[in-house]
Structure 1
Amino acid sequence: MQIRKTGAGRGAKWLNDSIHIIEKQARPILLGALMVSVLATLPGLFGPLAMLALVVLVFVYPVLMGGLVAMARSIDAGGPAAPSDVFAAFRNGRAGALMWMAVPQIVFGLVVVTMLAGALGQENLQLIATGEEPDYSQVNRGAIPWMFLVVVFGGVATFSATLFGIPLAMLDGQPGLRAIATSLRASMANLGAVLVYLLCMFVAIVIASVAMLLVGMVLGLILGLLGEAAQAAGQMLLSILLNAGVMAVLACGHLMAWRDVFGAEDAAGAGGPDDTIREVSAEL
């Protein structure tokens, strides 16, 4: 598969075009993203099984994101879309390939946790395990710059593995590991565009978060009259809505980046998310 090299400025266009896709049919893709956002809050409700539920969510999330990407493709092509299309990858057989997208995130998370544990030290870990305040004087400050580098470069690498990997697995029908490898090569060839896109997304998320914070302050004052439970529920609702908006934009960004770098023709996209693999197979 040929990888096209684009200019750094294309990263900003990916974000801009993502918003235009949402404007075409905001209801289905935003409701689909809202369903994913709600599912993301469920692990905390499982009590002792919260960690297991979180692991399941880590593997399910890229599958649902693949459904959102296919939905975005259908919407952009003027085709049908429904919130339930977020589960399209389970219906068209691409769920297994998309679950591989969780592997880079898990590896990245394990590396960060290991480095954090090493920086805190065994005594502080024991204090944290018993619910006590850690002794920050025992923290290995020399490890902090290395942690910062790992978080920055590892985070970019992890994002790069899925930026093109999710649409490659969902829309092009590539196996999971091959999609990840191809995505990393495409990201390296278009590193400027990827970094600009990440920067634009970061700025957009900060602006949206500040707006939500202001709304949350007003809503908190109103719901505070009804009690702490109502206030906490209001704050959680705002968080879910913010996450849903970010997921919808990210899904459309995956589509725009994939189309721009791989020169994909999307005329077949009007058939709907469930027809994605059948259409790709027919073209091949």
Structure 2
Amino acid sequence: MEVRKIPVAQGLAWFRAAIDIGARNPKAVFGASVLFIATLYGLAILLGVVAVALTRGGGDNAQPDGVLFAAIFVPLFIGLMVMMPVLIGGLMHVIREAEAGRPVRARDLFAPMRSPRVGTLALLGLVQIGFAILGGVVAIAIAGADYWQDYFGAVRGAMGGQMPVVPQPRHPGLLMVVQLAYNYFTYAVMLFAVPLVLFSGQGIVESVRNALRASVRNVGANLVAAGLFVAGTVVAAIIVLLLSMLANVIGALVHPMVGTLLSMLILLAFVSALLVVLAGGAYIAWRDTFGGDAPSAPRPFNGIEV
């Protein structure tokens, strides 16, 4: 499959278009995003309950059974990881149908589970686990095994109320570069490979290979879009945090639970919007990079409509 060369400025166009995603059918798009969050939150709670139960099953002073912990917790964790690309694909499916003007509902988030491509989507989760293992090995080799032991020891000490002493890796500059490169390629592979599997009908090897090609060939446009997303997220997070604090104070005048509920609703809306922008931007980037039409020239920047 051809990987089109995208102008660097197109990253700005992707970001602007992603902000407008959902305007044609906000009920379906943002409803699917909330359903996405609820599904992941439920799975995360299940993982936490299992971890606590296995840790404290024998009493406060009992040591957890490592074999039992691995036999139950690890499969659940892997299940959570393989669900991630399926849910991302479902959200992209809802966005795609809404942008095309076709009828779609929030529960169509789970449409990929009825697709013959669901197995390949799930394999992308295993690919991410493989990338994480590889990245961990490289990070240990660069920073040194003692660094990570000291680092997690400092984290445990901080959680216990002690003053943490942050260790220094052997090659801090190289470690930072490797971590940035790792984050870029793992996110790019996931966000490109999901639509390549679901919409282009590619297999696991072909989709990962083409996603890597796109992440290298269009690194400029991808980084512009990613940088704008991160910067926008930071600014929006500060504003949303202030709004949630204000809502908490105002709601607490009625009842403390009202304030908590209002602040949680604001945070839920914020995370839901972030997911829509992320999945929508990735869908648009896939469409321009691998689609039949050449990417249009980016429009002049005239501000962002909220």
Q: Do Structure 1 and Structure 2 share a fold, with TM-score over 0.5?
A: yes
Offset of 1:88 from its aligned partner? Answer: 1.1
- Residue in structure 2 matched with residue 155 of structure 1 by the alignment: 183
Instruction: Give the counterpart letter for 2:243 in structure 1.
Output: V
Asked which structure has the greater CA Rg, the reply is 2
- 1:255 aligned counterpart, secondary structure: helix
Contact map agreement 2:86 2:112 (CA 8 A) in 1: yes
Contact 1:38 1:240 in 2 (8 A): no
Residue type at the aligned position of 1:12: L
Query: Paired residue for 1:49?
Result: 50
What is the identity, as a one-letter code, of the residue corresponding to 1:183? A
* TM value normalised by structure 2: 0.75
Structure 2: where are the runs of 5+ without partners? 52-72, 294-306
Q: How do 1:189-200 residues align onto structure 2 when only pairs under 5 Å count?
A: 189-200=217-228
Q: Deviations over 1:153-202 (max 9, x none)?
A: 11001111122211101101111232111111012111111001101111
Higher relative contact order (CA 8 A, sep 6+): 1
Counterpart residue number, 1:60: 83
Equivalent-residue separation in structure 1 for 2:155 and 2:273 (angstroms): 38
CA displacement, residues 49-86 of structure 1 (integer Å, 9 cap, x when unaligned)? 25554442221111011111122221222111110111
Match in the other structure for 1:239: 267
What is the aligned-residue identity percentage?
A: 26
Shift of 1:248: 1.1
> What is the Cα-based RMSD across aligned positions, in Å?
2.9
Aligned length: 264
What is the match of residue 7 of structure 1? 7
Deviation at 1:234, TM superposition (A): 4.7
Check if 1:92 corresponds to 2:93.
no
Instruction: Measure the CA separation in 1 of the matches of 2:237 and 2:5.
Output: 33
Question: 1:136 offset after TM fit, Å?
Answer: 4.2
* Map of 1:26 onto structure 2: 26
Indicate the residue corresponding to 1:275 in structure 2. none
1:95-131 C-alpha deviation (Å, 9 max, x unpaired): 2111232245324544359648742426953982996
Alpha-carbon distance, 1:232 to partner: 5.2
Asked whether the 8 Å contact 2:147–2:167 carries over to 1, the reply is: yes
Shift of 1:41: 2.0
Moved over 6 A (4+): none
Question: Which whole-Å CA distance do the structure 2 matches of 1:118 and 1:264 have between them?
Answer: 51
Q: Measure the CA separation in 2 of the matches of 1:156 and 1:127.
A: 26
The structure where helix makes up a greater share of residues is: 1
Instruction: Output one character per residue of 1:234-261: Cα deviation in whole Å (capped at 9) or x when no partner.
Output: 5444333222111111221122111111
Residues in 1 aligned to 2:238 and 2:22: alpha-carbon distance in whole angstroms: 22
Q: TM-score, normalised on structure 1?
A: 0.81
**Change beyond 3 A, Cα 1:260–1:125:** same
1:259 aligns with 2:287: yes
